[in-house]
Structure 1
């Protein structure tokens, strides 16, 4: 008789599956079963196309959206939108590559589903190189590690963003008026340290991540989309009120700031880690590609419009988050509150990926009686880890660029094209496809190396308070 936890996970079934598989499969195959994405937990509902679209939109539209005007400033008024479009198209193309590889491998191996890490491992098992075949399991380890770093990096940025906006609302309350005029620069002394606001948010996020069923999370994603949509509409409403002619704005920025643009742009397209899990949870997974194209087309259009119009509106005064440029009145203070609520619920969705990698391995090391306790403990520990990371790193804009350059570029641009070559090379791939995949991977690698260097260099420099995402500066 199977027992189901309060959180919706069937631990005894998972342990039985793992133990029986481990007795009958090779080491690399059995190790892949530490992630439960291959099975649907008992009683877990499947997602409709609309629910999948909601999840896809929410896991791509996050804090990076508000930093896009600064990203366009770092690239130039002409180069920025074109580069953002190109990166968006390449990212979606790599998502489709990942879907095709996973589908092909699942059919070849007669599996219901393979996740990103397993797809990498199974693909390496069939490649011509003996050393890669022998060490194929490391492919899954590397992808899993990058997914954990990327998604927890997103969560850390979310912590910084929510705490900073909460601090802004509280600290600016006494100078906030009902009349919406252009924002003036004042120097305010914060009454409470930003870390206090982070610690205030912490227990609520811990309770939120205890929910792990994507069907349940779709309700929160809907709320997040509503609040994000409302705040985005208000932002556009203000931006479109008299955009000055951009005669003095550079069409192309220098290459150093362009590297920061690259990291921010890749970070903004933050949904590749959720692509395969969402497809796996769909009621009709064969329709996922259509949902992906529709959702990502809407995302790319939104990114280009907000980034370009925001930079045209504020010009050289564009800040790390566009909310810092909005008038200091209650109407636009509500934008910060609504967007923070949306980010709060998005946290659970982004947290789902590293949780589904780490927790099954953790509970496989203990008896069934301890499974729920270990599950809750690991979730609590991971949320606390993202909080500590947010406390230790002061620069929101540079953290976004760093996370995007280091791990997001690897997952979104470097690995998928190489995975396609390894998976389909033995099936007479044409030279054009191989060349295309190599070029995409090289571009991703160059962006990763130079973007990471530039972000780390900027982090080592003294904080420029005119650009820091600090509540105490802009009122």
Structure 2
């Protein structure tokens, strides 16, 4: 029987960010740990031996608590730390599972005026103390409270965004018959890739980038990171153009004309200070406000279309558009992109609830497919061939429409830092900027300001071709993450699969590469075509 390896916890790097350090919920415990170092010499020489054992031996955590912590590290903290905060931390990813557990157990408590587990005396952690044991078990299990309903809304927030506003014009590009069919194919491919990614996670754990590193080493991790950066940049740039175009129309309605380009540049003054905010928790309220604006906007757009049906009837539409169908392919991928939050959402569920996550994912995607098709077809049939890339621009010019444009613009304005955050953290990791160092705040702020300026410049360049820009983002930035990497990683991690499984994996990879190449190339050609607006 092999000897169980031992770990020197003191040699492990401090990898857990301050914002995630454990805080012991013990209000009665003093803030200072000095009392633990006092030796009662009245007990004689035995007192020195007891003090030595107390101060040098690790705390005795009950098997139940340790098992819960191990499960949390495997299913929650791995993807949360490396995906939600920085998408990947090379030092953290290179640790073994056992080292991550020991690192978590030996991380000091945050600056809360309370003591960490290490500073509690042996009597406070003895299994005989049922009350203390119950408190520790409750603390360790407290992170597993996400319900399936909450997971459902998390998936909705991951999928539903500005992309839905491009679908009516996308149905014009594809045709009223071809577009729903293509949207269904994209939904099926998205589900297949998500299942492959979840299957990889079940085998190796960790975040998306960690799975890539297990499959192809550091280059696998870097591929995922670079794709995430490009995708988040693409989303941010499309939001910048979206806000500028809508606000330009609102101002024009009141007689204050301002160009889209000028409004794009003005957004720099808003986004740079917002990018300096270090913690996404500060955006929790603004995120709720943004969700409310989006819900209000979708309801109004559908209501406006039904009103148009009642007055003018169904407009003449194309069944298949042979000239612009490639534009809709990228738009469809852009709309269904949400694979980045699949792992964190599943990991936030308890183990028994994770068994129901895949059916929940299937029904969510299928439900969105039906709703997207209904929303796009309804607006295309109501507006006809005059539908604009942003459907809001095709609605009647009145106070209700202006309120939706202002509200949705505000929603995207507030969402910008949330979408920029993952890319910022990856770039800071690549530049090896320290995570928490007050002396480096200026350096970090400069880097973040430069990133914002880059997105502003890209948006300024793409302002006149928003539909093509969104399609290129979908094909060039989203396709690798959504279609190519998951089956590619699965083939590497699980080489001994059935022939049918391998055929499906290679087919999806081939479809992804073909989509990436064909859609990107054709849209660039359209962009450069004479007379393109």
Place the TM-score, normalised by the shorter chain, in its bin: 0.7 to 0.9
Q: Report what 1:128 is aligned to.
A: none
Task: Single out whichever of 332-341 and 193-202 deviates more from structure 2.
Answer: 193-202
TM-score when scaled to structure 1?
A: 0.76
Structure 1 residues 277 and 48, CA, compared in 2 at 3 Å: closer, same or farther?
A: same
Corresponding residue of 1:99: 198
Q: Residue 145 of structure 1 aligns with which residue? A: 226
Q: Which residue, 314, 326, 332 being the options, matches 1:265? A: 332
Alignment partner of 1:434 is 2:532:
no
- 2:146 aligns with 48
Q: How much does 1:240 deviate?
A: 1.4
Q: How much has 1:204 moved relative to structure 2?
A: 2.7
Query: Is the aligned partner of 1:312 residue 2:381?
Result: yes
Give the Å deviation of 1:242. Answer: 4.3
Counterpart among 435, 444, 459 of residue 390 in structure 1: 459
Task: Work out which structure has the larger RCO, using CA pairs closer than 8 Å and 6 or more positions apart in sequence.
Answer: 1
Partner of 1:270: helix, strand, or coil?
coil
For residue 287 of structure 2, the aligned residue among 190, 206, 221 is 221
Q: What's the offset of the Cα at 1:438?
A: 1.5
Report the Cα offset of residue 363 of structure 1. Answer: 4.6
- Superposition pairs of residues 47-86 of structure 1, within 5 angstroms: 48-49=146-147, 52-86=151-185
How much does 1:359 deviate?
Answer: 2.1
Distance 1:350 1:464 in 2: 30
Matches of 2:416 and 2:435 in 1, distance apart? Answer: 28
Partner Cα separation in structure 1 for residue 470 and residue 333 of structure 2? 9
**What is aligned with 1:183?**
none
Determine the C-alpha separation between the residues in 2 that align with 1:377 and 1:279: 35
Q: CA deviation at 1:371?
A: 4.2
Q: Which aligned pairs between 1:301-450 and structure 2 lie closer than 5 A?
A: 301-364=370-433, 368-394=437-463, 395-426=465-496, 429-450=497-518
Pick one of 271, 295, 299 that aligns with 2:368: 299
User: Which residues of structure 1 form unaligned runs of 5+?
Assistant: 11-27, 107-113, 125-135, 175-189, 466-475
- Which stretch has the larger CA shift, 200-209 or 325-334? 200-209
The farther-off stretch of 222-231 and 299-308 is 299-308
Q: Give the number of aligned pairs.
A: 408
Distance 1:115 1:33 in 2: 13
Which runs of no fewer than 5 residues in structure 2 stay unpaired? 1-13, 22-88, 112-141
Q: Contact 1:410/1:444 (CA < 8 Å) preserved in 2? A: yes
**SS, match of residue 350 in structure 1:** helix
Give the 3 Å change call, closer, same or farther, for CA 104–412 of structure 1 in structure 2. Answer: same
In structure 2, the residue matched to 1:118 is: 210
Q: Matches of 2:252 and 2:315 in 1, distance apart?
A: 36
User: Residues of 1 paired with 2:454 and 2:258: CA distance?
Assistant: 22
Is the CA contact (8 Å cut-off) linking 2:246 and 2:393 kept in structure 1?
A: no
Larger radius of gyration: 2
Deviation at 1:196, TM superposition (A): 2.6
The offset of 1:90, in angstroms, is: 1.6
Quote the Cα distance in structure 1 between the aligned partners of 2:370 and 2:358.
18
User: What is the CA distance between 1:263 and its match in structure 2?
Assistant: 0.6
Residues 186 and 332 in structure 2, CA contact (< 8 A), matched pair in contact too: yes
Per the normalisation by structure 2, the TM-score is: 0.69
Query: Hey, what's the Cα distance between the residues in 1 that align with 2:156 and 2:509?
Result: 25
In the alignment, is the contact (CA less than 8 A) between 2:526 and 2:532 conserved in 1?
no
Summarize deviations over 1:96-131 as a string: whole Å, max 9, x none.
22122123112xxxxxxx22222112023xxxxxxx
1:459 match: 527
Shift of 1:375: 3.5
Q: Which residue pairs with 1:23 in the alignment? A: none
Q: 1:48, 1:409 → 2: CA distance?
A: 30
Give the aligned CA root-mean-square deviation in angstroms.
3.3
CA contact (8 A) 1:259 1:447 kept: no
How far 1:247 moved relative to its partner?
A: 7.8
